[in-house]
Amino acid sequence: MALYHRQLPMKLLLVALGAVLLSSGAPVLAAPLPPIGGNGDPHMTGLQGEKFDWHGYPGESFCMISDSNIQINTHLIGQDGVTYFDAFALLYKIGDSVHEVSFQLNQDVPSDDDANFGIELDGRPLAPDAFTGRSACDNFGPLRVFASPDAGIELSMAEENGFAVVLVVEGLANMTITTDNHDLPTGKHLDWAINWIHATSEVHGVLGQTFQPSRADVIAAAMKVNGPQMQAAEVVEGSDDEYRTSSLLAPDCARSRFGTNPDSPTERVGHVATLRRLLSFVEGTNVFPITIKNAGCASGASAACNFA
């Protein structure tokens, strides 16, 4: 079976144009992120540029994306019906090993401080001085890099400050996490965007369900009628509680797909080479691989993911 491609060439063109403008232009700190993810109050942007505000509730963690080999949870803070992300966790499976990386925003330091994010990999704190590698410029300028080949992960932080981190899990995902400020009450929150993710057609979670090909068709039809701004209830199945996890690092939301096994026995119908690994899929199931690109961002007060 083929990879699932978005059939939106015009949009891809616009994204490409946006990238060109970004790289030729202007200052980087406030650059709008290319797409799919979540940001303040949380403004969510899905695969096709559909936008919806999803609030959850403060003090709890929720599964944003949940698939057999990858799950993204976020923790919310806020008050007066306004919520923001202040922590982000990625759980992922490589072979039989489960790894977890988390980012906790530190409200006590300025956004550009090295300690902006408290980062942990498999339960161990990663201090800024662990970022000893170097990599070429991207939108955030030169990057310093921490890599753990054992855990299949590479983290890159803006060289001059701690406000942005690019997170790449080999063969599974590439995400950008940044920081923004909000008022009422004054504080900072984190925004996250998906550069690419390899998932399956059964992916779920508050945002992840928008990637399911069947859901994407429904959303596309609704957008044709009403445009990209949607109500959360039109996009997110069920209640907020079905997405709540018992902690930032727990995969246990009711809609969780993490740890399910689309690649059991031996027969493979479709497979996708994700760098070195193969995801394989069992005959007789309807699960197939999909690749999401620039598919979603989630941000705070500034609705930063305005690429559409």
Ligand X SMILES: *[C@@H]1O[C@H](CO)[C@@H](O)[C@H](O)[C@H]1NC(C)=O
Binding site for ligand X (CB under 6 A): 138, 166, 168, 174, 195
CA distance 88 to 73: 6
Which residue's CB is nearer to ligand X, number 34 or number 289? 34
Map tokens 């993204």 to a residue.
Answer: 72
- Tally Cβ neighbours within 10 Å of residue 10: 7
CA distance 208 to 292: 10
For the bound state, the minimum distance from the C-beta of residue 164 to ligand X, rounded and expressed in Å, comes to 11
Which residue's CB is nearer to ligand X, number 104 or number 174? 174
Which residue's CB is nearer to ligand X, number 194 or number 287? 194
Amino acid at site 170: E
Map tokens 């161990």 to a residue.
Answer: 124
Residues 6+ apart with CB under 8 A from 175: 37, 72, 90, 166, 167, 192, 193, 194, 195, 197
Which residue's CB is nearer to ligand X, number 166 or number 292? 166
Which residue's CB is nearer to ligand X, number 251 or number 296? 296
Which residue's CB is nearer to ligand X, number 230 or number 305? 305
The answer to whether the beta carbons of residues 49 and 11 sit under 8 Å apart is yes
Which residue's CB is nearer to ligand X, number 146 or number 281? 146
Q: Which residue blocks in the chain are alpha helix, DSSP H?
A: 9-24, 213-226, 232-235
CA distance 279 to 265: 12
Long-range pairs for 94-101 at CB < 8 Å and ≥24 separation?
94/69, 94/151, 94/152, 94/170, 94/277, 98/259, 99/151, 99/152, 99/153, 100/249, 101/151, 101/153, 101/155, 101/167
Amino acid at site 105: L
